[in-house]
Amino acid sequence: MENFEYLFVGNASLLSRGTMPIKHQFRGGGNRGGKENSLSSSSSREGHHFGGGGILAVLIAVVISEHQRKWTRRMEKQLKEKLKHLEDRHKAERNAVVRLQHQLRHKVLDVTSSFTGDKGGGNDDDDKTRSKTSQNSHQQFGPVIARAQSCFSRRAGTPRQGGSLVASARCRLHFDVEFVPKRSLEGLEEYSHAWVIYVFHANTNACGTKNRGAVKALVSVPRLNGEKRGCLSTRTPHRPRPVGLSLGRIISVDWERGEVTLGGIDLVDGTPVLDIKPYVPWCDSVPEATAPKWVTRAIEGEEGGEPLAIGEVKLASPEEETREKVKRAYEERFEIDSKKGGKKRRPLYENPDDFLAFVMDALRLDVRSTRERTAKVEERKFDTYRVTLCDVEVAYVIGKEGDGVVTIVDAVAVEPSVIPGSADLDRPAITRNDNDKYFKK
């Protein structure tokens, strides 16, 4: 306001000084011309005073307008800074909650084992605690018979029902040969497919830190763009009992090692396996079975097709350089010595070319959240996305104009998660600002 008052007074002073010579000129004309000159002089003075007032009003309006523009720009900048601060704070708080959930899930495994061996009495609160803890742990189902080594290294990014849609996916089941005799797998190689029954171990609400562990009755369905359905009428991992069922193609059975390698299956890395059963076509297949249109339209060629389908997956230019990045990252993954001192895992793909083909196959399904997938381009939270496959972090972008084109831009080898299948919260998320480094002109 001080600047504004200075401008106002200054402009008024200049106008006053500017009109003085004019008034003096008319007064200096004497009485020649008599009354007419007097009237003319009076009229001229009124005209000059009116013109000075109009100019003053315009200058005041200009000053006010400029002041408002500066104030608006300053407030806009402050609001943007505040919004950025709130977004960063929300992200940090969310990561902290998820990290605590992961830590709690890890601790629950030990606590549950002591509860399951307790045959004595106890008060009602203890019984409720045992019930809540045991229902959120795979140990409620007894000892697991195998663990999955999967190409899907993290829960986030694993395709929904991706088994039949990502045929090149690979998973190796490592059986506990001390609990399951090696020859238990003998004869399984005679079948083409097998059912795998397992536990959704990477659920973020698995330890009661959200809604006290209660299961929501309704869940958002990705293929319905977030519309709600009852959890038991979908394949959601968030169920009253977190048990999953997937069908895989048998690639090899090595009962000497206690290993079964499956193709086209959507298990997350580290998944606890409860059982494996051979697929028997004459009793497992039901030709006359029906399902809702939103489930079947992807395979029946109906209008709309697969709602999560991506039109095209390509490599960023220069393509050869990007191709080598992805292949080299896969090779480096098995050259890195584990910081945890564990033994190296055998690769799921024999050569980097097969891995690259799998990456492009996996990205043909949109694995982003419903909110991110359905948002307008300018409202997306990210421009660059990443997914971790075989412990290789692949960065990609999706066409800005909603053209359904995925472009792979980078790849880097990463260490396995401390808790297999869980998010690696120590690695920073890719934000909109990071997009510039992939699109330098």
Q: Which position has the higher pLDDT, 22 or 204?
A: 204
Residue 436 is predicted with a pLDDT of: 46
Question: Which domain does 251 fall in, by range?
Answer: 136-438
Q: Report the b/e string of 13-40 with b at 16+ CB within 10 A.
A: eebeeeeeebeeebeeeeeeeeeeeeee
Residues 6+ away with beta carbon under 8 Å from 26 = 41, 44, 45
Q: Same structural domain for residues 73 and 170?
A: no
Question: Does residue 105 carry a pLDDT above 90?
Answer: no
Q: What is the CATH number of the domain that holds 348?
A: 2.40.30.70
243-299 tens-digit pLDDT: 999 999 999 999 889 999 999 998 999 999 999 999 999 999 998 988 888 877 655
* pLDDT at site 149: 94
pLDDT of residue 236: 85
The last residue of a domain, from among 84, 113, 135:
135
Whether residue 28 has pLDDT greater than 70: no
**Rg of the chain, C-alpha, whole Å:** 35
Q: Please tell me whether residues 153 and 123 are part of one structural domain.
A: no
Residues 131 and 162 in one domain: no
Do 128 and 254 lie in a common domain? no
Question: What pLDDT score does 400 carry?
Answer: 64
Residues 264, 305 within the same domain: yes
Where does a domain end: 87, 111, 135?
135
Residue 101 pLDDT exceeds 70: no
Q: Which of 9-23, 200-214, 224-238 has the lowest mean pLDDT?
A: 9-23
What pLDDT is recorded for position 370?
Answer: 80
For the four alpha carbons of 109, 114, 120 and 122, in that order, the dihedral sign comes to: negative
Taken in order 28, 32, 33, 34, the sign of the CA dihedral is positive
Tell me: do 106 and 156 sit in the same domain.
no
Q: What's the CA gap between 323 and 315, in Å, rounded?
A: 7
Same domain, 268 and 311: yes
Per-residue tokens: 328: 């080299």
Residue 207 has pLDDT above 60, yes or no: no
Task: Identify the three-state secondary structure at position 252.
Answer: strand
Give the model's pLDDT for residue 115: 42
Sign of the alpha-carbon torsion through 155, 160, 166, 167: positive
Residue 233: HSE in the Cβ half-sphere, 13 Å Cα cutoff? 13
The verdict on 319 and 421 lying in the same domain is: yes
pLDDT in tens, 219-248: 888 888 778 999 899 888 888 888 999 999
Q: Which amino acid is at 103?
A: Q
Task: Give residue 401's pLDDT band: very low, low, confident or very high (50, 70, 90).
Answer: low
Distance CA 132, CA 350 (A): 43
DSSP string, 260-277: EEEES--PBTTPEEEEEE
How much is the pLDDT for 100? 73
For the chain, how many structural domains are there in total?
A: 2
What is the C-alpha separation between 402 and 373, in angstroms, rounded? 10
Confidence band for 39, pLDDT divided at 50, 70 and 90: very low
Model confidence at 22: pLDDT above 50: no
CB-based contacts of 135: which residues, under 8 Å, 6+ apart?
Answer: 213, 241
Q: Which of 100, 135, 170 is the last residue of a domain?
A: 135
Given a cut of 90, whether residue 321 has pLDDT beyond it is: yes
154 and 89 co-located in one domain: no
Average pLDDT over residues 16-23: 41
Q: Is the pTM of this model over 0.75?
A: no
Identify the top-confidence range among 75-84, 102-111, 250-259, 418-427.
250-259
Looking at mean pLDDT, say which of 6-15, 56-65, 85-94 comes out highest: 56-65
Nearest to 147 by CA among 339, 345, 320: 345
CB atoms under 10 Å from CB of 217, counted, come to 11
Check whether 361 has a pLDDT greater than 80. yes
Tell me which of 7-11, 35-39, 165-169 is least confident.
7-11
- Write down the mean pLDDT value for the chain: 75
Given a cut of 60, whether residue 31 has pLDDT beyond it is no
Q: How confident is the model at residue 60 (pLDDT cuts 50, 70, 90)?
A: confident
Question: In terms of domains, do 102 and 167 share one?
Answer: no
At residue 212, the pLDDT reads 53
Averaged pLDDT for residues 308-326: 91
Residues 125 and 240 in one domain: no
Region of poorest pLDDT, from 27-41, 200-214, 346-360: 27-41
Spatial CB neighbours of 86, under 8 Å, sequence gap ≥ 6: none
Same domain, 100 and 117: yes
% of the chain residues with pLDDT over 90 = 30
Q: How confident is the model at residue 348 (pLDDT cuts 50, 70, 90)?
A: very high
- Helix, strand or coil, per DSSP, at residue 223: helix
Residue 396, pLDDT score: 93
